[in-house]
Amino acid sequence: MLAFLSSLPGAVAQGIIWGIMAMGVYITFKIMDIADLTVDGSFATGGATLVVAVTSGLDVGLAILLAFIVGCAAGLITGLLHTKFGIPAILAGILTQLALYSINLRIMSQKANLPLSVDKYDILISLRNIPGALAVGAVFVVVIIAIMYWFFGTELGHSLRATGCNQSMARANGINTDTNKIIGLVISNGMVALSGSLLAQYQGFADINMGRGAIVIGLAAVIIGEVIFSKLFKNFALKLLSAVIGGIIYYIVITLVLRMGLNANDLKLFSALVVAIFLGIPYWKRRIAERKSINPKGAA
């Protein structure tokens, strides 16, 4: 128990970093109504870009910005495949994700793993200094939520929301839905790559597999946040925050089950099960409600 408590701050720090990724997933999954699988690739792209940039002497702030931009580019590719090639969004994301595996290896000079020592380089966030990591993570969360809150309150942000909600209506009101989908995918993957760049710093390396299953973790965070806070949080900023809190809860639970003796190799199975169950809950609720409504004690 004591060991679990002592590992809590680390879990929270990781949860915050993945929470930033979850906010990116929130934009595509909840606002644009697209399940974007690019993120498994673009998360690692963010990490790889950062490590290569910092180790070749770039300032860490600029390296994070660079990771963000490269992530945006990945989103742009998926967006173009979806809107200009007419490929269904899920498949477009899978194609980009697959291509990114090769690209990420090229970024890392064909190495599957690149170290980034906190002793040698001046980086922002590291598991050696967890209170510092928590503070930096919190600042990133606040700044990103503030920017997203502003953006989705603008004319362009509104047109993105309309595109995700009702494409016929959006087009009838003069909104270019294709462009808006691309913009949504670009922003989302930029945030995902930024999150990857923070995780690479935190863990001290970038790995070709660091994004594997990222979409599931992001969805888990979004859904956990939604299930717990949807009654409480109505404001858009708070809804984004609930995705971050969902990420934190997810990592606390993961830490707990690992402490309880779950084989680390079974983690992905565990994550998939959690997400499947949470995604199923709204459906089951509806089914049960329907069954009740058609069977009111024998009445017709």
Partner 1 sequence: MLKVNGIYKTFNRGTINEKRALNGVDLVLNEGDFVTIIGGNGAGKSTLLNSICGVFPVDCGSIFIDDIDVTRLPEYKRAKYLGRVFQDPMMGTAADMWIEENMSLAYRRGMPRGLKWAITSKERKMYREMLSHLGLGLENRLSSKVGLLSGGQRQALTLLMAVMRKPKLLLLDEHTAALDPKTAETVLELSEKFITEDNLTAMMITHNMKDAITHGNRLIMMHEGRIIYDVSGEEKAKLTVDDLLKKFADLSGEEFANDRALLN
**42 token code pair:** 């673009």
The reply on whether position 205 binds partner 1 by CB under 8 A is no
Please work out, in degrees rounded to the nearest 5, the angle formed at the alpha carbon of residue 150 by the alpha carbons of 144 and 153. Answer: 135
Maximum Cα–Cα distance across the chain:
76
Q: Map the footprint of partner 1 across residues 161-180, applying CB under 8 A.
A: 161-162, 165-166, 168-177
CB of 88 to partner 1, least distance (A): 19
Quick one: 222 exposed, middle or buried, by C-beta within 10 A (0-12, 13-18, 19+)? buried
192 binds partner 1 (CB under 8 A): no
Closer to partner 1 at the Cβ: 96 or 159? 159
Contacts of 246 (CB under 8 A, 6+ apart): 19, 22, 220, 221, 222, 223, 224, 225, 226, 228
Kindly state the smallest distance separating residue 282's Cβ from partner 1, in Å: 15
Give the SS3 label for residue 176.
Answer: coil
Q: Which is nearer to partner 1, 29 or 202 (CB)?
A: 29
158 binds partner 1 (CB under 8 A): yes
Q: Between residues 153 and 280, which has the closer beta carbon with respect to partner 1?
A: 153
The nearer residue to partner 1, 101 or 151, going by C-beta atoms, is 151
- Please, what is the minimum distance in Å from the beta carbon of residue 156 to partner 1? 5
Which one, of 161, 82, 113, 114, lies nearest residue 74 by Cα? 82
- Residue 154 is a binding residue for partner 1 (CB under 8 A): yes
Residues between 247 and 286 with contacts to partner 1, criterion CB under 8 A: none
How does DSSP classify residue 112? S
Name the residue nearer to partner 1 (CB basis): 33 or 55: 33
Q: Would you say 7 or 179 has its CB closer to partner 1? A: 179
Residue 191 CB, nearest approach to partner 1 (Å): 18
Would you list the DSSP string of 65-79?
A: HHHHHHHHHHHHHHH
Measured from the CB atom, the residue of 30 and 212 that comes closer to partner 1 is 30
Nearest-approach distance from CB 226 to partner 1, in angstroms: 14
| Interface with partner 1, residue 236, by CB under 8 A | no
Question: Residue 133 Cβ, how far from partner 1 at the closest point, in Å?
Answer: 32
Residue 173 CB burial class (10 angstroms; 0-12, 13-18, ≥19): exposed
What is the rounded distance in angstroms from the CA atom of residue 87 to the CA atom of residue 33? 16
Amino acid in position 224: I
Instruction: Rule CB under 8 A: choose which of 38, 49, 126, 159 binds partner 1.
Output: 159
Residue type, 146: A
Decide: 34 and 185 in contact? Cβ < 8 Å: yes
Q: Applying CB under 8 A, what is the total number of residues that bind partner 1?
A: 22
Residues that bind partner 1 (CB under 8 A): 151, 153-159, 161-162, 165-166, 168-177
